[in-house]
Amino acid sequence: MGKLDGRVALVTGSGRGIGREIALKLAADGAAVVVNDLDDAPAKETVAAIEEAGGRAVACAGSVTADGFAERFVQTAVQEFGGVDIVVNNAGYTWDSVIQKMTDEQWDAILDVHLKAPFKILRAAQPVIAAAAKAEKAQGAVRCRKVVNISSLAGTGGNPGQANYSAAKAGVMGLTKTLSKEWGRYNVTVNTVAFGFIKTRLTEPATGGATIEIEDREIAVGMSPALVAALEQMIPLGRGGTPEEAAGAVYLLCLPESDYISGQTLICGGGFDM
């Protein structure tokens, strides 16, 4: 018996990286998972990995910023697994520039994926969660649901070249604080995990030229080896975190042991805090 048996989790951006590890960890403890990725193939690969391990999952591919995605995502959970218990807003990427060179498109794209998309997903989930909480209360039952929004140390302390990303991630914490107050009546805890330096394809050492494609845009990724080395020297644990370790922080806030923790930001940064 897993601690999350009978729970239904939605995890955005879970075809790769940290999101994939979150989905795998929740599924390993019994949750049925709706896996999302911008691309269909990575989402299905995560689903296959969950199913091969004996878990339950279904893919819901597509951009979290697309019109109608939030409703489709939530309804997939309802139709396939009967409800919504855990929502992890993880999807995102960076598109950096100093403010005088940052375009409106850069600003809007990053605010849309990191802040507007979580807002729309949670708005779409509200009727489902409220109805379930009301029915459970009428039956004398208690069920604690979980929302975990992903932020960053860029959101807690700012980061040069990331005015868009820092603003979005700071906004995520404001969204978390507000929903923890609005949704307490539904017995939902709403928390944030703010990541420090986590080793993913977006932060791996690169000498230049590495890109990813996001909705027909070529976005530069990677960090200079010198910057990576400097960052790791500032981290008390002496290294960047792994996607598995990052997923562990999210997992903690999905467990029954965290049922009385809400409205908080947990920093997962190896001891480094801006």
Q: What is the mean pLDDT of residues 68-83?
A: 98
The predicted-structure confidence for 19-49, as pLDDT tens digits, reads as follows 999 999 999 999 999 999 999 999 999 999 9
Q: Taking the chain, what is the end-to-end CA distance rounded to the nearest angstrom?
A: 40
The predicted-structure confidence for 200-233, as pLDDT tens digits, reads as follows 988 888 766 678 888 888 888 888 888 889 999 9
The pLDDT > 90 percentage for the chain reads 89
* Residue 246 · residue 202 · CB < 8 Å: no
* Residue 186 · residue 260 · CB < 8 Å: no
For the range 221-228, what are the long-range contacts, defined as Cβ-Cβ under 8 Å and sequence gap of 24 or more? 221/93, 221/94, 228/197, 228/203
The predicted-structure confidence for 187-199, as pLDDT tens digits, reads as follows 999 999 999 999 9
Domain that holds residue 156: 8-196+242-268
Q: Evaluate whether residue 212 is within a structural domain.
A: no
Count of residues making up the chain: 274
The pLDDT confidence band at residue 67, using thresholds 50, 70 and 90, is very high
- The predicted pLDDT at position 203 comes to 86
145, with CB counted inside 10 A (0-12, 13-18, 19+), is buried
**Token representation of residue 23:** 């989905």
The enclosing domain of 124 has a CATH number of: 3.40.50.720
Q: Evaluate whether residue 261 is within a structural domain.
A: yes
Q: Evaluate whether residue 230 is within a structural domain.
A: no
Which residue has tokens 């794209």? Answer: 109
* Residue 150 · residue 165 · CB < 8 Å: no
The predicted-structure confidence for 133-172, as pLDDT tens digits, reads as follows 999 999 999 999 999 999 999 999 999 999 999 999 999 9
- Which residues are catalytic, by number? 165
The predicted-structure confidence for 238-258, as pLDDT tens digits, reads as follows 999 999 999 999 999 999 999
- The predicted pLDDT at position 208 comes to 66
Q: Which residue has the higher pLDDT, 225 or 102?
A: 102
Specify the pairing of strand 57-59 against strand 32-35. Answer: parallel
For residues 118 and 116, what is the distance between their CA atoms, to the nearest angstrom? 6
For residues 97 and 273, what is the distance between their CA atoms, to the nearest angstrom? 23
- The predicted pLDDT at position 46 comes to 98
For residues 108 and 112, what is the distance between their CA atoms, to the nearest angstrom? 6
Residue type at 271? G
Q: Evaluate whether residue 234 is within a structural domain.
A: no
Q: String of b and e for 44-64 (b: at least 16 CB within 10 Å)?
A: bbbbebbeeeebebbbbbbbb
For residues 186 and 89, what is the distance between their CA atoms, to the nearest angstrom? 19
For residues 181 and 174, what is the distance between their CA atoms, to the nearest angstrom? 11
The mean pLDDT value of the chain amounts to: 96
SS3 at position 211: strand
Number of domains in the chain: 1
CA separation (Å) from 141 to 8, 24, 32, 83, 134? Answer: 17, 28, 21, 16, 10
